[in-house]
Amino acid sequence: MTVTRIDVGGESPYEVVVGTGVLGELPGLLGPRVRTVAVVHPETLPEIARPVCGAIEAAGYEVVRLPVPDAEQAKTAEVAAGLWSAFGRHGMTRSDAVVGVGGGATTDLAGFAAATWLRGVKVVQVPTTLLGMVDAAVGGKTGINTPEGKNLVGSFHPPAGVLCDLATLMSVPRDDYVGGLAEIIKGGFIADPEILRLIEEDPQGARHPEGRHTRELIERKISVKAGVVGADLRESGLREILNYGHTLAHAIERVEDYRMRHGEAVAIGMVYAAELSRLDGRIGIDLVDRTRAILTSVGLPTAYRRDAWPALRDHMRLDKKSRGATLRFIVLDGVAQVSTLEDPPEALLEAAYGEIAR
């Protein structure tokens, strides 16, 4: 299979490499000055880190394996502190490197640990889930959660490169894979309508890593994110569009104590954002219906508990897009036409939630 290279520009440019058997690129990304490489991976999935460690060791580097908890349980200050202690015990210097292997939570944590150790060491991301490949591992955003909210502590720290080995998707549990489709669909609504057309053409195929449009969908979504973050690494403007659906999604994740998949929460959040857009007079019911239809066709949820609104509204106050007391939502003016809705009236927020409540 051919290899696709997607450039991410900006102040620290790098490549996202997509293909099968791309681990051979890893030593070149680490470079000749690196001596020790810390490989951060989920503790329950040592097998996903084994070929990565093997490729690094074969190139003559010293490998330190650092297993961490699964999923969002890894993104805590305590786990990050454990990584810093391990870096210190193994004598990692500013010329050494971190490799994050796993889903989005693992790559977020690995990137944050690299960004904060000695004020920044090299990191290479090797995402092994659909969500990690098309979103979390690309863009240089790193972070951990706090009891008050998701990703409230973090840093912008672009990787030296991202390696997406499509073969790893074959072992991803089906529900996790479908969850990752939410971020791909988001890319269609905010920037690339062809993504929506491909999913509408073959929704069942989209649910499988061997689907006929799978690779194109992945590459298109990575290209969307690469274009945005290359122009706005630090989320000072354009990059905010990537948060479409995420204001409510992060609140749902907090209410669920992170037991709900990120993609499932984002799917619900996108319907909510679409309803906000409609009720604010920006789009028609046809685009809201299309949002629901596409998400439902691949098996993603589009509604949430009616009684959860007070808790959700409380958690949204700490959304990282907020400015002071002003709550801000990314909304649609049409397909691939995005704007910001600032400080919407409480009645509008509640009415939009009424449209997705069950």
User: What is the distance between the alpha carbons of residues 289 and 211, in angstroms, rounded to a whole number?
Assistant: 25
Q: Are residues 131 and 78 in the same domain?
A: yes
CATH code assigned at 308: 1.20.1090.10
Does the annotation flag 104 for ligand binding? Answer: yes
User: What is the per-residue pLDDT across 319-354, written as a single tens digit (0 to 9) for each?
Assistant: 655 555 689 999 999 999 999 999 999 999 999 999
Residue-range definition of the domain harbouring residue 240: 174-356
Instruction: Select which of 207, 221, 246, 328 is catalytic.
Output: 246
Return the structure tokens found at 133. Answer: 């490949």
Q: Are residues 187 and 207 in the same domain?
A: yes
Does the annotation flag 150 for ligand binding? Answer: yes
Q: Are residues 231 and 348 in the same domain?
A: yes
User: What is the per-residue pLDDT across 285-328, written as a single tens digit (0 to 9) for each?
Assistant: 999 999 999 999 999 999 999 999 999 999 998 765 555 568 99
Global pTM value: 0.93
Q: State how many domains the chain has.
A: 2
346: buried, middle or exposed (CB in 10 Å: 19+, 13-18, 0-12)? exposed
User: What is the per-residue pLDDT across 74-130, written as a single tens digit (0 to 9) for each?
Assistant: 999 999 999 999 999 999 999 999 999 999 999 999 999 999 999 999 999 999 999
Residue 61 identity (one-letter amino acid): Y
User: What is the per-residue pLDDT across 197-237, written as a single tens digit (0 to 9) for each?
Assistant: 999 999 999 999 999 999 999 999 999 999 999 887 787 78
pLDDT of residue 135: 94
User: What is the distance between the alpha carbons of residues 61 and 45, in angstroms, rounded to a whole number?
Assistant: 22
Is 43 noted as a catalytic residue in this protein?
no
Instruction: Tell me how far apart the terminal alpha carbons of the chain are, to the nearest angstrom.
Output: 45
**Do the Cβ atoms of 253 and 269 come closer than 8 Å?**
no
Does the annotation flag 237 for ligand binding? Answer: no
Instruction: Select which of 186, 207, 220, 239 is catalytic.
Output: 239
DSSP string, 203-251: HHHHTSTT-TTHHHHHHHHHHHHHHHHHH-TT-SSGGGGGGTTHHHHHH
Query: What are the helix and strand counts (H, E) for the chain?
Result: 14, 11
User: What is the per-residue pLDDT across 153-208, written as a single tens digit (0 to 9) for each?
Assistant: 999 999 999 999 999 999 999 999 999 999 999 999 999 999 999 999 999 999 99
Q: Are residues 194 and 69 in the same domain?
A: no
Is 315 noted as a catalytic residue in this protein?
no
Domain boundary among 139, 171, 203: 171
pLDDT of residue 320: 53
Q: Are residues 97 and 137 in the same domain?
A: yes
- Predicted confidence band at 45 (pLDDT cuts at 50, 70, 90)? confident
Does the annotation flag 253 for ligand binding? Answer: no
Q: Are residues 337 and 202 in the same domain?
A: yes
Q: Are residues 93 and 221 in the same domain?
A: no
User: What is the distance between the alpha carbons of residues 187 and 185, in angstroms, rounded to a whole number?
Assistant: 5
Q: Are residues 86 and 235 in the same domain?
A: no
Q: Are residues 74 and 152 in the same domain?
A: yes
Is 151 noted as a catalytic residue in this protein?
no
Domain boundary among 171, 193, 226: 171
